Chains A and B, each alone.
Chain A
């Protein structure tokens, strides 16, 4: 019998740990000059170094070091005066050298933190997620499993390997354990990854596309009975490829652990794979027996010793911190806290900002994205960003409304059309024949018709009871199929009834 989330948090305290892997957006790979462009033909971006041909040697990409230092600085880390690469030895066909060049006990950035704010029952609350280390390593190749039922590894007859991705620079950001989040663990996990993504995006060091794998999150979760000091056994969930999944995975693992613990069973220390469809995790490799990676200093590379001058140069290049940036926008746009939070939670702040930069009024931009467009996305069960509508489209539509060339109602039709793939706003307007009725004679006919149909209402307006005009305007708009400009209709109607 399945537990509810409330049952879990009534009894247990969750402890989080998050490991995020970020692919840097350098032009060339971590240790060789091969291109890093996504989606190239298989094995066209490989060389003796990234194929691990006998005799080849790695040389560190300077930009990757700079990007990593910038990440460290942005996450409030100390930059180590001495750091080194190490070999992590294990065999796997997608890893050509059968060791990964990584960092072990001498990472480049240590001891930072990220503050996140989430909505709690008591209002917005700040949580500090401490960052243990930020280190550099390299990505692996990609395998295509052939002969199995689903292209998955199990049941496959053989595999095909493409090493284009092998050697792309990766940065791993590891948090310390995060206790004290209580029932908000899933939200904190999500907010942390979102904040991290925003920071990385603002730094311009990565594409941070979770769906393409340029930002990957492993969520470690353990439970302990409330009041108990000793940590419980953790599971490590991989494959968590969206912000929403981070939240779902943490929540799901909390419930799974609690069910095991309540039954008196043991949580197995293992890797688990998140399954997007079910929201559940599937058991992977057991970590009960620690892998022996036989780390040792990479003899083909020399230590990294960034001097203070270099670090300060990089610090000077840091952009505004996203949290500061948000505060500034909130002030500039005069947005209430709640609306601001809604935008952030919906992950639409950057989209709204882009629309505002294109000339839209902030309130209008916000109401389109969070209102109509979000509603459609919801209906279609996709994220707003997957819809075929861009900040440019919305800015154009807002401008047309401001100029009186579209009414709000017509604008909604245009938005619908753009999302339906009918083209840019201008194309939708012309194809659908959408236009504002501002031919006064056509409007006068409708006005006269409405007054004739509702003589008592017309009389009230004539006698100065202006609120009654609403009913007439409604009828007129209906008559003109919403294509009339409501303001013009009101003007003409009042003048017709002697109130202008």
Chain B
């Protein structure tokens, strides 16, 4: 599996929440054929007896004590908000359902 169809790229774009024109989907799909072929090389040496490394350091059990620290002020918290109202972030209507 080392190529992607336009529809597969469209599905990935949907998962990643990026609107894409048809043209962009097609060109990305063709680029991916080349890129995936290159990155698929990892499979040549990734045998079952090799343990995966997800982190470069062997650190364990790093915790913080359960102590409160000062929060931002609501003004600071909302300072970058594209829109706000009643000390809350205002966002467009959420389709779907209550989480």
Q: A contacts B directly in the complex (CB < 8 Å)? A: yes
Chain A residues at the B interface, C-beta cutoff of 8 Å: 26-28, 32-35, 41-48, 51, 53, 59-65, 91-95, 140, 143-147, 152-153, 156-163, 239, 271, 273, 284-285, 292, 294, 296-297, 299, 301-306
Q: Is B63 a contact partner of A42 (Cβ separation < 8 A)?
A: no
Give residues 66-96 of B contacting A (CB, 8 Å): 66-74, 77-78, 80, 85-94, 96
The answer for the CA separation of A61 and B67 in the assembled complex, in Å, is 9
Residues of A within 8 A of B94 (CB): 92-93, 143, 145, 153, 156, 159
Residues of B within 8 A of A145 (CB): 93-94
The answer for the CA separation of A296 and B53 in the assembled complex, in Å, is 12
Query: Can you give 5 contacting A-B residue pairs, CB < 8 Å?
Result: A60-B64, A61-B63, A145-B94, A147-B93, A305-B60
Q: Is A297 a contact partner of B63 (Cβ separation < 8 A)?
A: no
> Looking at the complex, which one of B71, B78, B88 makes contact with A144 (CB distance below 8 Å)?
B88
Q: Is B74 a contact partner of A42 (Cβ separation < 8 A)?
A: yes
Least CB separation from A50: chain B residue:
B71
Q: Which 8 pairs of residues, A with B, have the shortest CB-CB distance?
A: A33-B69, A63-B66, A62-B63, A160-B88, A302-B59, A297-B54, A161-B89, A59-B64
Q: Is A160 a contact partner of B63 (Cβ separation < 8 A)?
A: no
Residues of A within 8 A of B97 (CB): 153, 271, 273, 284-285
Residues of B within 8 A of A32 (CB): 69
Q: Is A92 a contact partner of B99 (Cβ separation < 8 A)?
A: yes
Q: Is B93 a contact partner of A140 (Cβ separation < 8 A)?
A: no
Give B35 Cβ to nearest chain A Cβ, in Å. Answer: 18
Give B57 Cβ to nearest chain A Cβ, in Å. Answer: 8
Question: Given A28-B67, A47-B71, are A160 and B86 also a contact pair (CB < 8 Å)?
Answer: yes
Residues of B within 8 A of A273 (CB): 97-98
The answer for the CA separation of A163 and B76 in the assembled complex, in Å, is 13
Least CB separation from B98: chain A residue:
A153
Residue B17 lies at the interface, judged by CB distance under 8 Å to chain A: yes
Question: Given A42-B87, A46-B77, A161-B89, are A26 and B63 also a contact pair (CB < 8 Å)?
Answer: no
Least CB separation from B57: chain A residue:
A302
The answer for the CA separation of A41 and B75 in the assembled complex, in Å, is 12
Q: Is B78 a contact partner of A60 (Cβ separation < 8 A)?
A: no
Residue B21 lies at the interface, judged by CB distance under 8 Å to chain A: no
Residues of A within 8 A of B69 (CB): 28, 32-34, 47
Q: Is B74 a contact partner of A297 (Cβ separation < 8 A)?
A: no
Q: Is B61 a contact partner of A305 (Cβ separation < 8 A)?
A: yes
Least CB separation from A157: chain B residue:
B93
> Looking at the complex, which one of A51, A64, A305 makes contact with B66 (CB distance below 8 Å)?
A64
The answer for the CA separation of A45 and B80 in the assembled complex, in Å, is 17
Residues of B within 8 A of A292 (CB): 15
Residue B42 lies at the interface, judged by CB distance under 8 Å to chain A: no
Least CB separation from B73: chain A residue:
A44
Give A127 Cβ to nearest chain B Cβ, in Å. Answer: 31
Please, what's the 1-or-0 string for B14-52, where 1 marks a CB less than 8 Å from any CB in chain A?
Answer: 010100000000000000000000000000000000000
Residue among B66, B73, B90, B94 with max Cβ neighbours from chain A (10 Å): B66
Give B14 Cβ to nearest chain A Cβ, in Å. Answer: 10
Question: Given A62-B66, A297-B55, are A158 and B93 also a contact pair (CB < 8 Å)?
Answer: yes
Residues of B within 8 A of A144 (CB): 88
Residues of B within 8 A of A158 (CB): 90-93
Residues of B within 8 A of A64 (CB): 66
The answer for the CA separation of A410 and B98 in the assembled complex, in Å, is 50
Q: Is B68 a contact partner of A27 (Cβ separation < 8 A)?
A: yes
Residues of B within 8 A of A161 (CB): 88-91
